[in-house]
Structure 1
């Protein structure tokens, strides 16, 4: 379920997003700041160091007002999308979500908004998030539910235009996060749902 497949655009659909980058911010809505704020609030301690994984132009990097955070850093495989993120004033690093260019225990939180289904190696991504997020930190994943009627339409539509999308249900994502060592919660569900994974405060708790 979490493996790569055949597509027109290639693993991660990078070529598609390189082409779309100049128009992306005009056709895609921003992330819901209230949802992100509530989910990031699950973390123990302050949330200052944040990475937006697969963040493209930085839609989700514009974090909620009042969050005690440094400037979030966007990590993405698309050079075109990262150029847009830099234009918007965000830190931007080109990298593979399954091999994050981040030190272990180096970030307080990661967000992945409307991007996980494009990642060729979801299991590897979750393992990297577990490595890079410090104890008590969180990953917030916003995704589309393929078991929802609108989710089924979206999945068919992305396949029809040649994307290599692999959507997962909230239950499957929660299971995968827990198998990787996260404590989990699903604060909202529906067509677009949120799963929060929290690294235990004590590393020993997950061993």
Structure 2
């Protein structure tokens, strides 16, 4: 099955960009910031992958971290720029970013929309410096809430890829990260650290 909105559900997000921040609650950045503690380097340069309107970036900016939003949806990026965020149009599976260019990346509630999540994880591993981290906040697809979310996204016309926290850790290991679960639950957080050689 493929998304009726194209790879990454981009056409959908272009259409809803103006209303997105009204419908979506603010990102809980304490969880993300806490996961940065697993980095083995200072966290200065951060990217917000598949960051849309900058929902996570807004919260991180309040705690002194100012990420660059990277997203493929022009509509979502226009909203991010209007909110004052630096934003770059790019596909998470083929980032327009040099090797070892950032200290950390965050993906908040968006990994399941990537048409090729493994390519996104591999690209994150490429652009994050050794000792840096990728912090992923996602939805657990099991349980009543998880099954309802998966069904709702499929009903809308998405083709999501949801992983359990353990499955995401395995995917991060395969992409070259050291991985661990930071927070369990419906909205879980997993962190991957790029090993130092």
Report the TM-score when normalising by structure 2: 0.96
Aligned residues: 196
Which secondary structure does the structure 1 equivalent of 2:124 belong to? helix
1:50 CA displacement: 0.5
2:109 to 91, 108, 114: 114
Q: 1:19 to 1:147 in 2, by over 3 A?
A: same
Q: Which residue of 2 aligns with 1:98?
A: 93
Give per-residue Cα distances to partners, 1:79-137, cap 9 Å, x unaligned. Answer: 00000000011111111101011100000000000000000111111111111000110
| In structure 2, distance between residues paired with 1:7 and 1:182 | 29
2:125 to 130, 140, 156: 130
1:36 to 20, 25, 32: 32
Higher mean alpha-carbon deviation, 58-67 vs 90-99, is at 58-67
Runs of 4+ in 1 over 6 A off after TM superposition: none
1:64 CA displacement: 5.7
Give the alignment of 1:75-86 within 5 angstroms. 75-86=70-81
Q: Which residue of 1 aligns with 2:184?
A: 189
Higher helix share: 2
Report the TM-score when normalising by structure 1: 0.91
**Contact (CA 8 Å) 1:74, 1:92: kept in 2 or not?**
yes
Q: 1:78 to 1:94 in 2, by over 3 A?
A: same
